[in-house]
Amino acid sequence: MKNIVKVYWQPGCSSCLKTKEFLIANKVQFESINILENPDGFKDLQKFGLRMVPIVIKGNQWANGAVFRDVAKVVGFNYKDHIILDPEIIFNKIIKINEATCSYLKQIPDDKLDVLLPGRPRSYRQLVYHVFNIPEVFLDLIESDVPYTYEALLSILPKEVITKKDLLNYGIEIQCRFKEWWVSKGVKIDFSKPAKVYYGKVIFHEVLERTGWHTGQHCRQIKLMLEEKLHINPISPIDESVFEDLPMPKSIWDNERSFAEDSYQGKALESLKHFEEL
């Protein structure tokens, strides 16, 4: 039993979905544990001093699902890293993803912003903020060496972000900051340098790529939410070509839980109140 591979995840978590799809693609059988529904899953992670997902555990070894080479090492198979797009291409994709998210936000009715997503205690408002916040966390790291932590990517809404206009202004502000950074510094940065992040040993090029596909995946979810939950046709839907050659998950929401479910109805465990998605 100790050699069983276990994957700890939660619905709507982009890295969780990628991790499960990665293992399935490599024909690895695993026990799937949704930590929002299985209290024992959180207890398992506590044994390793962990309070995050996705996590892959085999015996007494674990890896953060965000780094596939680490996952492959723990599980026990060979993995060759994929080729990453040129930084400028990724930068342009991130800008387009931000623009599309701003457009989608404008179409979300004010009285629907705090509706919860299916199977997940995260609101539409929080999801949009998360898309804008991911690039900010990257910029804080690369510009000011601010720790790139799991907690930083929880994307907790600031008190000053109250209205939809506040949220939209924040998104535009991050977009402008990202453009300014690229022109003044990004074009000259050595992206092959190691980056200090919480999930493993990676280089800045990988963190930039993650910023791209991570925001892209959640942008896809917001579009799906508009169409399937609010029955609103996006006025300016993102061109799907923006996602080409980014390591996006195949599914938009999850491979086990349907987006057609009702909004989250469960009561998250008290021990999980700060246990959010990457």
Q: pLDDT digits over 89-102, tens only?
A: 999 999 999 999 99
* Those residues with Cβ within 8 angstroms of residue 52's Cβ, 6 or more apart along the chain or in another chain: 45, 64, 150, 198, 275, 278
> Whose CA is closest to 153, among 171, 168, 177, 135?
135
Q: List the structure tokens of 134.
A: 């991911």
pLDDT band at 267 (very low <50, low <70, confident <90, very high): low
Torsions phi, psi of 162, nearest 5?
A: -110, -50
Longest CA pairwise span in the chain (Å): 54
DSSP 109-144: -GGGTTPBPBTSS-BHHHHHHHHHHHHHHHHHHHHH
- Amino acid found at 103: S
- Which domains occur in the chain, in start order? 5-75 (3.40.30.10), 87-263 (1.20.120.450)
Burial of 269 (0-12, 13-18, 19+ CB in 10 A): middle
Q: What is the pTM of this model?
A: 0.94
Range in 173-177, 230-234, 257-261 the model is least confident about: 257-261
pLDDT value at position 274?
Answer: 45
Q: pLDDT digits over 152-185, tens only?
A: 999 999 999 999 999 999 999 999 999 999 999 9
